[in-house]
Each structure stands twice: as C-alpha cells, then as structure tokens.
Amino acid sequence: MKFLPALLFLAFFIPLNKNSNSKEVLTSMYKKYHGTWHQSLKFNQTTERFRNDSLIKTDTWYETIVYPDLLRIDIGSEKSPNGILFRHDSTYVFRNNKIVRGVKDENELIFFLGGMYFKTFDQVLVHFAELHYDLSKFHTSTWKGKPVYVLGADKDNDKVNQRWIDQEKMVAVRFIKYDKDTKEEGTFEDQLALKGAWSETKCKFYINDKLLQTETYHNLVAGEPVDMGIFEPGLLK
C-alpha cells in the first residue's frame, strides 16, 4: 500500500507553470472544485476571544453553512435562541429568537472558503474585484514551510489585499486585507479532507497584528441535507 499516499497527492495536486498569475490560479482552483465541493458543512467550534494577547472569553459555536452564501451560528448550544445569520449580502444578529440588528455586510469568508465554486467563473472574477483584490498582481512564496501562490500582491510585504493559496491542495491558507485603514489577517490550518474537497479546522484572526480570535472545529459533517428555514430571519423560533 506504499503507493496510496502518492496517488492521494496526485489526486489533489495540479501543477502550474512558473509564469502563472492570479487568474490562472483561480482558474485551476475552480476547475478542480467546481461540481465536487460539498454544498453544506456543519460543525461545532471552540471559539476563543483575545484582548491585548490575553484570553478573555471562550464559547462553543454551532455552525451550519450552505454554499454559496448562507451561514448560521448558534452560540452556546444547537438551535440556540442567540446567534448570527449571514444571508447573501446581509448579517443579522438574533437574541431570544428575535432580530436585534441587521446590516448589509457580507461574510466574504464563505465565498473564499467554498462559495466561489457555486458561482460562474465570471462571477468569481467580478466578486474578487468587488472585494478589492487586484488580480493583475501575483507572486509565489512560502507559508509555514510550504509553497503558496499569493493572489493580489507582487511581494510579501505589499500592503494590499491578498489571498494565499496552498500549492498542493489549492485551498486558501491565509488572507490579509487593508480596507478602512485597518489591517485584517486570517489563517486557515489543519486541513481535513472531506468528500473530495477540504475544510480548515483551525483558524486565527488578527486586527493590526493583534490576535483577536481563534477557532477550532470539531465533528465536521459535509454534504448532508439542511433545513433551509434556519436561514430565514422571519422564521426564528
């Protein structure tokens, strides 16, 4: 069975030439995962919040995703009366099963971490531009000892929006954003193979280089049917 790891590697590895660019990398990712990425994902996560490098709060979140753009977070328990709905381009916070805040604010991580494979490729390119990624910029680098493609930046220290893609698995492992005079950074680690695709199981988020939040996923289930009513703000109960 020594050949099995090699076969698995080849199944998930798509080589690109040394003159690749951001659009070519996205094209390769899209061809690889469009039609095969799981449409739903459920898991619970340990969520740790930090202030000034000190842990201030730990919660358990129960998350349900339906791609391309739906996410429900129940805080503290499954079917909690408290949580957050991300629906298309809007975000709703609910308390005691009542909406207490709703804003036009997309959770773009849903798009980057799976939703893009449920849109047309032209829509993917347009949305990257809408999120202020300049796909004319590109370079290669390393991240945690592994080679990556960097979309949106010509070099590592560029202060521009950029997405780092693992060259072997062709999934996002890091993003950096400089919108609104704030540096935001997220990292995605410990990838788990799920039905022909992947999910990160460890995430870290930073604001202006200060650790804000860590997330550790547990009990991941991909591709199972989901009651779509859980994403309807008017059906909270």
Q: Is residue 1 pLDDT above 80, yes or no? A: no
pLDDT, tens digit, for every residue of 148-182? Answer: 999 999 999 999 999 999 999 999 999 999 988 89
Structural domains in the chain, CATH included, are 23-235 (2.50.20.10)
What is the per-residue pLDDT for 17? 52
178 or 4: which leads in pLDDT = 178
pLDDT, tens digit, for every residue of 17-53? Answer: 555 799 999 999 999 999 999 999 999 999 999 999 8
Q: Please state the rounded mean pLDDT for residues 58-78.
A: 97
Q: Please state the rounded mean pLDDT for residues 219-226.
A: 97
Contact 83, 74 (CB under 8 A): yes
pTM of the full predicted structure?
0.89
Name the nearest CA neighbour of 62 among 207, 196, 234, 230. 230
Q: Please state the rounded mean pLDDT for residues 183-190.
A: 98
- What's the CA gap between 74 and 60, in Å, rounded? 9
Name the nearest CA neighbour of 174 among 197, 196, 152, 192. 152
pLDDT, tens digit, for every residue of 203-215? Answer: 999 999 999 999 9
Name the nearest CA neighbour of 45 among 209, 192, 164. 192
